[in-house]
């Protein structure tokens, strides 16, 4: 029988009324890549946080390499050879890669043998696992894909034999994801054990040896990947058939709602982030912006949503120039009042206030609406009822309007933002990465809602790094590379290959 790297037995964990892990038993063979999948809020991150010492289980036991252990904090976990790569990286931006890796590595090579030895060790790890990271690069200047590899290096440098990755590909381009999977295969070949939490069933099928499926805190399946299909996994996860195809009728677009003319943005170092963009979005139309992340899409959304002012060019909304709008309120608030909704790419920083409750987050950005005011400040009952209806429509879990948003799982936080913006019934909806970190059942629902909005005659501008999503939802596709538009075509004529070439700037 295969040797077990990890044995979790009867793990149980509650957060107040929420039963996050229910009697979870899970064994992972040494030298394997093990997938953990499940709907948003199924308890995946909680289970991994218990393994990494962030949380203590209420009951249950853990054994590592056959030995019973107690993991009280992440130091214990690291000492046992467990490393974790989080969704939000924990790196110091203005330090070099080498400095970041040495930082906090107690009893590390700095003390024993100085920088040179640390550098030599790093370079060996870099080579063994084809990480291709420059030790002298400043971390803040690296793209997300490379920053993630720095996190992997950091874990390996601390002697990790077991590596936990929490939705690592959510922020990666397809090419970066491929590179990551090659690294994971190299880790496996060296006898390391990898745990991969993901919502992408294709990845599970491609790289894992075995999969655990969780639902509502419990394990509902433990299977060898070779024995199952994507459809079987989807069924197990959601407990019903999921339609992964978006149903969409062809429909004629109406009048232009958003017109962007010669729009440019130059940063304070003189770098052109957006270079003379021209495009429009009509009523009843979804325009998808495809591109490798970091090619100006985020800046474009920020300018359109009024968070950054354009350096040159004009933005017309229903014929009115909104590019330099001024008023008593900040520009994003003015634009919201005019009917422009915005689902920001980074929900944590720009979409929510984590320490506020669900119902308070349900009105963020719309909190000046007189209909929501009561005798005191706000009409609390109205706010709670409003959140109740979001919860019901978007199946937000746990179904508690009073809970702090920070206590929801990532995918459920995303649903809070989407529910709020769609509820405002915008004439133009700007959506960035609407399904990042969202489970397949919820993706199906969000895609349906966006198409419904389009069918009601609304204009939608979609930015997504998921080409499948761009192709499934868009009527027209605009491709960006290096801050420029490199192509535009009806979605019916776009293929992953043609888009891929344009995304590369060809
Ligand atoms: N610190 C906390 N306080 C209260 N409740 C929490 C806390 N952390 C998690 N929960 C709850 O525990 C449940 C499991 O959440 P968890 O983050 O483990 O889910 P997940 O499967 O990782 O979801 P996702 O795919 O959306 O990331 C959820 O209902 C969540 O709201």
Q: Is the beta carbon of 38 within 6 A of some atom in ligand 1?
A: yes
- Judged against a pLDDT cut of 90, whether residue 130 lies above it is answered with no
Q: At what angle do helices 230-238 and 440-455 cross, to 10 degrees?
A: 90
Crossing angle for the helix pair 144-157 and 174-189, nearest 10 degrees? 20
pLDDT for residue 174: 77
Tell me phi and psi for residue 216, to 5 degrees.
45, 45
> DSSP letter at 349?
I
Provide the whole-model pTM. 0.80
Distance 127 CA to ligand 1 centre (A): 37
Mean pLDDT computed over every residue of the chain? 91
Task: Write the CB contacts of 427 (distance below 8 Å, at least 6 apart in sequence).
Answer: 257, 283, 318, 339, 340, 458, 459
* 68 within 8 A of 148, measured Cβ to Cβ: no
Q: Which residues pair with 99 in a beta bridge?
A: none
Q: For the residues 163-191, what does the mean pLDDT come to?
A: 90
Residue 21 is predicted with a pLDDT of: 98
Q: Is the pLDDT of residue 363 over 90?
A: no
Q: Give yes or no for residue 379 having a pLDDT over 80.
A: no
Distance of alpha carbon 43 from alpha carbon 10, whole angstroms: 14
| Closest residue by CA, ligand 1 atom 9 | 407
Nearest ligand 1 atom, CA 46: 18
pLDDT digit string (tens) for 303-324?
Answer: 999 999 999 999 999 999 999 8
The residue nearest atom 24 of ligand 1, judged by CA position, is 40
Take residue 262 and report the two structure tokens written for it: 């010669």
Is any ligand 1 atom within 6 A of the Cβ of residue 45? yes
Query: Is the per-residue pLDDT at 332 higher than 60?
Result: yes
**Whole-number pLDDT of residue 268:** 87
Q: Which atom of ligand 1 is nearest to the CA of 439?
A: 25
- Tell me, what's the pLDDT at 118? 84
Strand partners, 37: 213
Q: What does the alpha-carbon distance between residue 187 and residue 129 come to, in Å, rounded to a whole number?
A: 7
pLDDT band at 299 (very low <50, low <70, confident <90, very high): very high
Of 82 and 397, the structure prediction assigns the larger pLDDT to 82
Q: Per-residue pLDDT tens for 201-254? A: 999 999 999 999 999 999 999 999 999 999 899 889 888 777 777 888 888 899
Q: What is the pLDDT of residue 328?
A: 87
Find the 407 Cα to ligand 1 centroid distance in Å: 7
Residue 374 burial by Cβ neighbours in a 10 Å radius (0-12, 13-18, 19+): exposed
Q: Tell me, using a 6 A CB cutoff, whether residue 168 lines ligand 1.
A: no
All domains of the chain in start order, with CATH: 4-238 (3.40.50.300), 256-503 (3.40.50.300)
pLDDT digits (tens, 9 = 90+) for 425-482: 999 999 999 998 888 888 988 999 999 999 999 999 999 988 889 999 999 999 999 9
C-beta of 407 in contact with ligand 1 (< 6 A): yes
DSSP state of 348: I
If phi > 0 it is left, if psi is from -120 to 50 it is alpha, else beta; for residue 339 that is left
Give the chain's end-to-end CA distance (angstroms, integer): 52
pLDDT of residue 112: 54
What is the predicted ipTM? 0.97
Give the confidence band of 294 by pLDDT, cuts at 50, 70, 90. Answer: confident
- Residue 376 is predicted with a pLDDT of 65
Ligand 1 pocket: which of 11, 41, 44, 412 to mutate (most atoms <8 Å of CB)? 41
Ligand 1 binding pocket includes 464 (Cβ within 6 Å): no
For ligand 1, mutation pick of 8, 19, 20, 405 (most atoms within 8 Å of CB) = 20
């Amino acid at each position: 029988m295969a040797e077990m790297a990890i044995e979790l037995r009867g793990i149980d964990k509650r957060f107040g009324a929420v039963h996050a892990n229910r009697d979870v038993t899970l064994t992972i063979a040494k030298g394997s890549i093990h997938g953990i999948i499940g709907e948003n809020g199924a308890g995946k991150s909680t289970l991994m946080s218990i393994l990494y010492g962030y949380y203590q289980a209420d009951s249950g036991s853990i054994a590592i390499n056959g030995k019973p252990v107690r993991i009280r904090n992440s130091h214990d976990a690291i000492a046992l050879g467990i490393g974790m790569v989080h969704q939000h990286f924990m790196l110091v931006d203005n330090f070099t890669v080498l400095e970041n890796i040495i930082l906090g590595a107690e009893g590390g090579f700095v003390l024993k043998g100085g920088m040179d030895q640390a550098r030599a060790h790093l370079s060996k790890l870099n080579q063994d696992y084809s990480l291709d990271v420059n030790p002298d690069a400043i971390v803040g200047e690296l793209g997300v894909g490379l920053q993630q590899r720095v996190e992997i290096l950091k874990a390996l440098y601390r002697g990790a034999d077991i590596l936990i990755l929490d939705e690592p590909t959510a922020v990666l381009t397809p090419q970066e994801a491929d590179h990551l999977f090659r690294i994971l295969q190299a880790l496996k070949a060296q006898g390391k054990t990898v745990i991969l939490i993901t919502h992408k069933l294709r990845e599970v099928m491609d790289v894992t040896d075995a999969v655990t499926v969780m639902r509502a805190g419990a394990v509902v399946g433990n299977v060898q990947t070779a024995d199952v299909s994507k459809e079987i996994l989807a069924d197990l996860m959601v407990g019903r058939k999921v339609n992964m195809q978006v149903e969409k009728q062809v429909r004629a677009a109406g009048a232009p709602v958003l017109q962007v003319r010669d729009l440019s943005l130059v940063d304070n170092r003189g770098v052109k982030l957006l270079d003379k963009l021209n495009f429009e979005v009509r009523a009843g139309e979804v325009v998808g912006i495809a591109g490798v992340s970091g090619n100006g899409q985020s800046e474009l959304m920020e300018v359109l949503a009024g968070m950054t002012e354009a350096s040159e060019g004009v933005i017309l909304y229903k014929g009115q120039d909104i590019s330099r709008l001024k008023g008593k309120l900040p520009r994003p608030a003015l634009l919201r009042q005019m009917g422009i909704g915005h689902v920001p790419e980074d929900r944590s920083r720009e979409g929510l206030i984590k320490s506020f409750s669900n119902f308070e987050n349900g009105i963020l950005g719309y909190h000046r609406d007189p209909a929501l005011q009561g005798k005191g400040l706000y009409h609390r009952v109205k706010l709670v009822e409003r959140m109740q209806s979001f919860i019901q429509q978007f199946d937000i879990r746990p179904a508690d309007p009073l809970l702090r948003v920070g206590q929801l799982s990532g995918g459920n936080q995303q649903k809070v933002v989407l529910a709020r913006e769609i509820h405002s019934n915008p004439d133009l909806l700007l959506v960035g990465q609407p399904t990042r970190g969202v489970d397949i059942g919820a993706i199906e629902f969000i895609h349906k809602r966006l198409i419904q909005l389009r069918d009601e005659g609304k204009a939608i501008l979609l930015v997504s790094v998921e080409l499948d999503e761009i192709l499934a939802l868009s009527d027209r596709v605009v491709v960006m590379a290096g801050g420029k538009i490199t192509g535009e075509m009806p979605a019916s004529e776009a293929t992953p290959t043609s888009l891929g070439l344009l995304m590369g700037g060809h």
